Amino acid sequence: MKSLKNQFLIAMPSMAESSFSQTVTYICEHDSEGAMGLIINRPTEIPLNEIFEQLEIDSETRAHAKQPIYSGGPVQTDRGFILHPAEAQKKWDSTIKIGTNISLTTSKDILAAIARDEGPENCLVALGYAGWSPGQLEQELGDNFWILAPANEDIIFNTPFHDRLDAAVAQLGISLEQLSPDAGHA
């Protein structure tokens, strides 16, 4: 099995009635035990400064205070995840490198650094994640629920959330309008 880690998972139009409708999910982990990813184009109404207040973190940041928290997926929606560029000079607790230029941190220390303007310049903070049991994601791909695209840090960190789906699909040389909601099998 080839790992899908560091790939975008794009919901097909056939998933219009699903909670994953029109989502782009960044795959953070994929192995024989299943898969885990974060939806990168579903902001919530919660700004980052509210998370600082809830966690009693003193905030001096102006750069990230109004940044939205994303709904990373339907699993463990009370748990936070921070995607950020991989920075060799900074080490936070509970950080894993996912791709060449992207890391995931789940510890509070990175939020405190962000609040002091000492954290990564670019970050995506999400509550919850998308998860698949062993073989489930492969089955869903076989059933044409998803298409894969290369992960791109510019899409994650610099593209407005409402343009991320189109940008991810465009990497494949197609547009959303070209995708049929009806899957075909040979």
Residue range 99-136, pLDDT digits in tens: 889 999 998 899 988 888 888 889 999 999 999 999 99
CATH code where residue 168 lies: 3.40.1740.10
| Residue bearing tokens 């310049």 | 121
Distance CA(146)–CA(37), nearest Å, equals 13
Q: What is the pLDDT of residues 133-174, one digit of tens each?
A: 999 999 999 999 999 999 999 999 999 999 999 999 999 998
Distance CA(72)–CA(44), nearest Å, equals 10
Q: Is residue 163 part of a domain?
A: yes
Query: What length is written for the chain?
Result: 186
Q: Is residue 183 part of a domain?
A: no
Q: Is residue 75 part of a domain?
A: yes
Considering its fold, how many domains does the chain have in total? 1
Q: Is residue 186 part of a domain?
A: no
> Could you tell me which residues come within 8 angstroms of residue 85 by beta carbon, excluding any fewer than 6 positions away?
101, 102, 103, 120, 121, 122, 153, 157
The parent domain of residue 46 ranges over 7-178
Q: Is residue 43 part of a domain?
A: yes
Q: Is residue 1 part of a domain?
A: no
Q: Is residue 185 part of a domain?
A: no
Q: Is residue 2 part of a domain?
A: no
Give the CA distances from residue 112 to residues 53, 64, 117, 140, in Å, rounded to whole numbers and listed in that order.
11, 12, 9, 38
Q: Which residue has the higher pLDDT, 119 or 27?
A: 27
